[in-house]
Structure 1
Amino acid sequence: MTELWRLPALDQARLIRTRAASAREVVQAFLARIEAVNPRINAVVEVRADEALAAADAADAAVKRGEVVAPLHGVPVPIKVNADQKGYATTNGVIAYKDLIAPDDSGVVANLRASGALPVGRTNAPCYSYRYFTDNALHGRTLNPRNPAVTPGGSSGGASAALAAGIGAIAHGNDLGGSIRYPAYATGVAGIRPSLGRVPANNPLATAERPISLQLFSVQGPLARTIADLRAALVAMMTGPQPDPWHTPSPLAGAPIARPIRVGLATLGATSPVVAALRQAAGWLADAGCVVEEVTPPHWDEAATLWRSLLMTDSLRFMQPLIEANADDATKASWAGWAANVTAADEDAYAAGLARRTAILRDWHRLFRRHPLLLCPVSRETPFPIDLDLTVEGQARILRAQEPLYVVNFLGLPGTVVPTSTVADNVPLGVQLVGDRFREDLCLDAAELIEARAGVPPIVDPV
């Protein structure tokens, strides 16, 4: 039998369900893989083996009793350190929070448990989950197992690096400005930023509500090595009533659309390797029967500017005091570059910007009526060299490159990243598929077509 840790999550679950393998064996393989490769990449920053094995034994006992088990029964899934998991510190990469123990599970973790998954291991994130690079003074730096000279992405860089190195088949992440999709892109795995409201986002430890920009722009979601696992993980995360007013229990499968599917291609001024990956993916979609036409997404520059200014307005009030009090030196330097490049909105402009978001989204809905899918870059550049954000000039470059990520956040739309190829020195490339609200199904369907041609990138043994 293939080593259990190499298998997709759905295959692991099938073996457990049919008793061809036990959940204990799957979790043991997962723990052994952590021991073998995690010291080289520092993706998982906490793991409790005894607890994980006890949960696996309980999963096996349910199978032996003949119970009807959930789709991901017995599959280990690591959780990012900024999500509440009962009995664990929600550190968010901050030294001051190392003893901040969650009294209960966040909604997304509770839903994973209900799906049969076993939350095992906590994955690294930058301090305050703030950067596109995963490093902090509490847990240390996470390296990209495909190429340690480039970022594994942030803020879900621990999750993406773990998957690329074979630590788990599915991982949890969240995405305010690309924090699921960019790590997936940077390490050659898949990731999906769901629509606003698709997956519950509450944390029991929270003592106050998040600023409205974070409520509108941030979501919880999965990363995975295959699109089939990504789809299964999204269903697991979205299913079940949770105390989040934004949660919208909409079915994953939407209404049928006219065929052939029309895909809008937007290269958005990306660098030549990124454009080449987009045109290759467009060709694969065309071969599969899609009609691919170049488009210009409406109000692009305005949407990008508004994401930056609205988020900066709230960050000055809510994040800057925390960064000044608790952040490590790298995060403070990154924040200084962000503040130097982004102008906050005054009170009138802030209110007008939130209202303007509705009008911009309305015009995007019109785009999706003609082209139900948008194929665009994940980033305008290939994955960044480590710590590019520590200068004002580096932050300016990053803010421009990452517009294809955070415009999607601004609008609350779903975006799926699928790997396509690599460039020199084993630097991953991929593309992004964006759909209308709650049309993750179309994004995933198209991603599967691309995956069928590109193949699933191999698991890496980090140097």
Structure 2
Amino acid sequence: MSKNELVSLSSVEMRRRIGTKEISPVELLDACLERIEEVNPAVNAVTAMCVDRARKEAKAAEAAVRRGEDLPLLHGLPTGIKDLEETKDLLTTYGSPLYRDYVPGYDNVMVGRVRAAGAIVVGKTNVPEFGAGSNSRNPVWGATGNPFNPMLNAGGSSGGSAAALATDMLPVCTGSDTGGSLRNPASFCGIVGFRPSPGMVAVERRAMGWTPISVLGPMGRNVADVCLLFATQVGQHDSDPLSFPLEPEAYAEPWPVDLGSLRVAYTEDFGGAPVDKSIRQTFREKIKAMKPFFRSLDKVDVDYGGADRCFDVIRAVSFLSRYQDAYTNNRKMLGPNIIANYELGAKLTLADFAWAHGEQTRIFRAFQEIYKEYDLVIGPTVGFSPFPWKQLYIEEMDGKKLGTYYHWMATKYFVTLTSNPAVSLPCGVDSQKLPFGLQVIGRFRGDGEVLGAAHAMEQAFKTNPVLARPLPNIAKLRKPVPALKSIVTHPPKLNAKVAKGPAPGAL
């Protein structure tokens, strides 16, 4: 098998072949490192790396296979960790000049669980500054380009992970999601992103532990890969008051679902989210193509009420809690997105906060009413086609100015407010011949069911050219695009040895 064929395998198939000794972890790591060297200059998805340690771990993983040991779920799989997650002895910048030399002395809970499952951490994946925004560019590492056109946005904030997966640089990558950071880059890059129910994956760095809008979760090239990673991430931890006991093995494979039995509701804009005319038309074409797969597929009205203001307030309060010290002492070192969120929070009153939580509760209860009649809700993941990475965000739609830098993400943050689990599933291309993502939203706490449904849809879509997952042209990406790093103003010191920066949980 050639190296190109090897890296294009799913992580599930890679893991199977490692267990049967058909491939070795060392061979797999070498193939991934070669692909990173060839393609990463074009998309700038992988940032700080720890190659020497990865090689040692791959040799140890190979030896364990030879000894016939019981192998964990991710044994020997090269892995990328989103650069918002602390990784022991590996540079963790959060995309901020404030932490351009920060090398943690510990793995956070999620990273520790992924490592314990046998993953070999190769490096970090790019993000916007502190994960704020859906364009993975920052002054430390530069911008991540879309694998289908490197001059376009890869999405964010898990854009580096999405691009690394789409280009077969790494088979396993982690992500996180507040207003769509797992779903938006998955849609833009043609992979699968899953926002789990709050509490499924423990989040120790959440500043306000009882506020469920921010979650950690998996990404993958297909739903089975997502399930494999998800099973290693889930479970209770004392650092997260929302987490609860789970049986990880229950999520290691997609649950069986009969598409023909499903009653599915669909919406073009979730009751008022910005969705471009061309995306609406594309979505209608997808609906027509997939309708025969389900028992029923009906358009529904979604009442999201004051969702925009509600999300503004809850998000801003979270930023106020997390970044007060940085804003007070190092405002000049912060980017415009962080400053905008913090200053909005500083103007809010307790009455605003109380209203927002009350409105979120109303939105949650109204959304659950749909599931009395339907099994799933589907809609566009993103209301816009990928746009140039030099454009920080979408400012207007159809001549009308949007409200905030993240208003164009409303198709996702409306769903965030409900706390229902949601998958972004690759679903062909849009009118620009760029990846189109279908957002598949399950019942409250129905994580296994929605992943199973998404897997069944994925299998049905494979043979339909309108719905099948698109693939980037890797050959074209072997020519680097230096402009991707043009906004770098604070390059990190890659030889940093001493841990500096926040105490555990400070971010």
TM-score by length of 2: 0.82
1:445 maps onto 2:448 in alignment: no
1:247 maps onto 2:243 in alignment: yes
Contact 1:309 1:343 in 2 (8 A): no
Per the alignment, residue 470 of structure 2 pairs with: 457
Structure 2 distance, partners of 1:377, 1:421, is 12
TM superposition shift of 1:202: 1.7
1:308 maps onto 2:307 in alignment: no
Per the alignment, residue 223 of structure 1 pairs with: 219
Per the alignment, residue 206 of structure 1 pairs with: none
Q: Judging changes above 3 Å, is the alpha-carbon distance between structure 1 residues 76 and 180 closer, same or farther for their aligned structure 2 residues?
A: same
**1:346 aligns with one of 344, 349, 360:** 349
Per the alignment, residue 403 of structure 2 pairs with: 396
Contact 1:107 1:242 in 2 (8 A): no
Structure 2 distance, partners of 1:304, 1:199, is 26
CA offsets 1:407-448 (integer angstroms, 9 cap, x no match): 122222211001112235542211101112321223223322
Per the alignment, residue 263 of structure 2 pairs with: 262
Counterpart amino acid of 1:54? K
Contact 1:74 1:117 in 2 (8 A): yes
Q: Judging changes above 3 Å, is the alpha-carbon distance between structure 1 residues 335 and 117 closer, same or farther for their aligned structure 2 residues?
A: closer
Per the alignment, residue 283 of structure 2 pairs with: 278
Q: Judging changes above 3 Å, is the alpha-carbon distance between structure 1 residues 344 and 430 closer, same or farther for their aligned structure 2 residues?
A: farther
- Range with bigger deviation, 95-104 or 32-41: 95-104
Structure 1 distance, partners of 2:174, 2:357, is 29
- Range with bigger deviation, 88-97 or 255-264: 255-264
Structure 2 distance, partners of 1:400, 1:387, is 18
**1:433 aligns with one of 419, 427, 440:** 440
Q: Helix, strand or coil: the match of 2:212?
A: helix
Contact 1:338 1:395 in 2 (8 A): no
**2:92 aligns with one of 65, 90, 93:** 90
Q: Judging changes above 3 Å, is the alpha-carbon distance between structure 1 residues 48 and 10 closer, same or farther for their aligned structure 2 residues?
A: same
Per the alignment, residue 371 of structure 1 pairs with: 374
CA offsets 1:198-245 (integer angstroms, 9 cap, x no match): 111124xxxxx60368x4110001111112111211122115756432
Q: Kindly report the root-mean-square deviation, in angstroms, between the aligned alpha carbons of the 2 structures.
A: 2.9
Q: Helix, strand or coil: the match of 2:362?
A: helix
1:106 maps onto 2:108 in alignment: yes
Q: Judging changes above 3 Å, is the alpha-carbon distance between structure 1 residues 370 and 424 closer, same or farther for their aligned structure 2 residues?
A: closer
Task: Report how many aligned residue pairs link the two structures.
Answer: 455
Structure 2 distance, partners of 1:5, 1:239, is 30
Per the alignment, residue 430 of structure 2 pairs with: 423
Per the alignment, residue 410 of structure 1 pairs with: 417
**1:210 aligns with one of 199, 207, 230:** 207
- Range with bigger deviation, 413-422 or 446-455: 446-455
Q: Helix, strand or coil: the match of 1:388?
A: coil
Contact 1:91 1:98 in 2 (8 A): yes
**2:147 aligns with one of 128, 145, 148:** 145
> Which runs of 5 or more residues in structure 1 are unaligned?
204-208
TM superposition shift of 1:258: 11
> Which runs of 5 or more residues in structure 2 are unaligned?
462-466, 480-507
Structure 2 distance, partners of 1:317, 1:239, is 26
Contact 2:127 2:157 in 1 (8 A): yes
Per the alignment, residue 322 of structure 1 pairs with: 326
Counterpart amino acid of 1:313? V
Per the alignment, residue 290 of structure 1 pairs with: 295
Contact 2:425 2:439 in 1 (8 A): yes
Q: Judging changes above 3 Å, is the alpha-carbon distance between structure 1 residues 41 and 389 closer, same or farther for their aligned structure 2 residues?
A: closer
Structure 2 distance, partners of 1:78, 1:380, is 28
Q: Helix, strand or coil: the match of 1:53?
A: helix
Per the alignment, residue 60 of structure 2 pairs with: 58
1:24 maps onto 2:26 in alignment: yes
Counterpart amino acid of 1:376? G
Contact 1:310 1:344 in 2 (8 A): no
Q: Judging changes above 3 Å, is the alpha-carbon distance between structure 1 residues 61 and 76 closer, same or farther for their aligned structure 2 residues?
A: same
TM-score by length of 1: 0.89
If asked which structure has higher relative contact order (CA below 8 Å, sep 6+), I would say 2
Counterpart amino acid of 2:429? T
TM superposition shift of 1:363: 2.4
- Range with bigger deviation, 22-31 or 381-390: 381-390
Identity across matched positions, percent: 28
